[in-house]
Amino acid sequence: MRHWLRSYLLLLCWSAIRLRYLLPMILVIQTMMSIGIVIGFAFLLPNVDPATALHLTTGAPTLALITIGLVLAPQLVAEAKTAGTFAYNRTLPVPRTAVLGADITTWLVAGTPGLLLGLLVAVLRFDLTLRVSWLVGPAVLLVALTATTVGFAIAYAAAPPVTNMVSQLIVFIALMFSPINFPADRLPQWLQDIHRVLPFESMARAIRESLATPPEGVSMLPFLVLAAWGAAGLAITLRVMARRD
């Protein structure tokens, strides 16, 4: 356990040194994206009723987490694979889970400021009063973990060019065709059915309901869906990391 913790902390330190120039840029991109969603989407919709405002407000931080976990993280892993870093790290005498743990922690930390800023901008813009549940912490953590582990699974299992294409596709689907910034009932039935299995709607619901708790309470189903996706992502990532030719 001491070896694991020592490896984890040293790898975290390595990531922090390596990404210290990139992190401010990630923060700027995320903030701009959150602001873009909150302010830009309001232009598309002439009348922002309270339900729409709530979706945009809680959708912005959800998308911030998706961008970090399912787009930026896998793209950097793909880059690391191309540069040979992945192969090199496999030769280091550290537990694979410590490598993964350090990577996930880095992305969780990288995602937090953008998440908070996005939320702040939305609350100010729409003048909303949120009913925050204690589940908001676990919800944010679970969404971030699921996004990152699924992102890693894609990046570790697929070739780098495929990873880059898939991550672009994910942004596109998440932004335009997922019930994150708008209610699910606006989508055709078949797409609604697909979103019952995909993690995007569950991510949005877990965050929305824990930030603005409905009278009937926070639904647990999205948490279960996300836990299943997260576990699958983790299993695939660890399998690829430990694979021997």
Partner 1 sequence: MLHIDTLTKVYRRGVRANDGISLDVAPGEVLGLLGHNGAGKTTLLGQIVGLVRPTSGRITLLGRDPVAEPAWARTACSFQPQAQAPLTGVTARQAIEIVGRLRGGGRRAVRRRTDELLAALDLGEWADQAGERLSGGVRRLTAFCMAIVEPGRLVMLDEPTNDVDPVRRRLLWEQVRALAADGHGVVLVTHNITEAERAIDRVVVLDHGRVAAAGSPATLAAGREMRLELTGADDHPAPSWSLAEHREGGRRTFTVAAADAHLAVAWAQTRATRFSLNPVSLEDVYVRLTEEVTGDAALAA
Candidate residues 5, 13, 159, 165; the one interacting with partner 1 per rule CB under 8 A: 13
User: Does position 198 bind partner 1 by CB under 8 A?
Assistant: no
- Judged by beta carbon, residue 157 or residue 187, the one nearer partner 1 is 157
User: Does position 95 bind partner 1 by CB under 8 A?
Assistant: yes
User: Does position 72 bind partner 1 by CB under 8 A?
Assistant: no
Using CB under 8 A, which of the segments 32-40, 88-96, 115-123, 214-222 binds partner 1? 88-96
In whole angstroms, the minimum distance from the beta carbon of 49 to partner 1 comes to 46
Q: Which two structure tokens, joined as six digits, stand for 175?
A: 């932004």
DSSP for residue 213? -
In whole angstroms, the minimum distance from the beta carbon of 9 to partner 1 comes to 10
Q: At what angle do helices 199-211 and 221-242 cross, to 10 degrees?
A: 130
**Spatial distance between the Cα atoms of 77 and 71, rounded to a whole number of angstroms:** 10
User: Rg for the chain (alpha carbons), in Å?
Assistant: 18
In whole angstroms, the minimum distance from the beta carbon of 16 to partner 1 comes to 10
- Judged by beta carbon, residue 12 or residue 123, the one nearer partner 1 is 12
Q: What contacts 24+ positions apart, CB below 8 Å, involve 131-137?
A: 131/211, 131/212, 131/213, 132/210, 132/211, 132/212, 132/213, 133/209, 133/210, 133/211, 133/213, 133/218, 135/206, 135/209, 135/210, 135/218, 136/207, 136/210, 136/211
Q: Which two structure tokens, joined as six digits, stand for 64?
A: 């911030």
- Judged by beta carbon, residue 22 or residue 221, the one nearer partner 1 is 22
Candidate residues 75, 89, 112, 192; the one interacting with partner 1 per rule CB under 8 A: 89
Using CB under 8 A, which of the segments 46-54, 91-99, 113-121, 160-168 binds partner 1? 91-99
User: Tokens 């009063």 map to which residue?
Assistant: 129
Instruction: With beta carbons less than 8 A apart as the criterion, state whether 96 and 241 touch.
Output: yes
Using CB under 8 A, which of the segments 37-45, 54-62, 82-90, 103-111 binds partner 1? 82-90
User: Tokens 């002439």 map to which residue?
Assistant: 46
Candidate residues 49, 185, 216, 245; the one interacting with partner 1 per rule CB under 8 A: 245
CB within 8 Å of 198: residues ≥ 6 apart? 178
Candidate residues 43, 44, 49, 91; the one interacting with partner 1 per rule CB under 8 A: 91
Gap between the terminal Cα atoms of the chain:
28
User: Does position 244 bind partner 1 by CB under 8 A?
Assistant: yes
Candidate residues 36, 90, 128, 184; the one interacting with partner 1 per rule CB under 8 A: 90
Candidate residues 25, 45, 83, 221; the one interacting with partner 1 per rule CB under 8 A: 83
Binding site for partner 1 (CB under 8 A): 6-7, 10-11, 13-14, 17-22, 80, 83-85, 87-95, 244-245
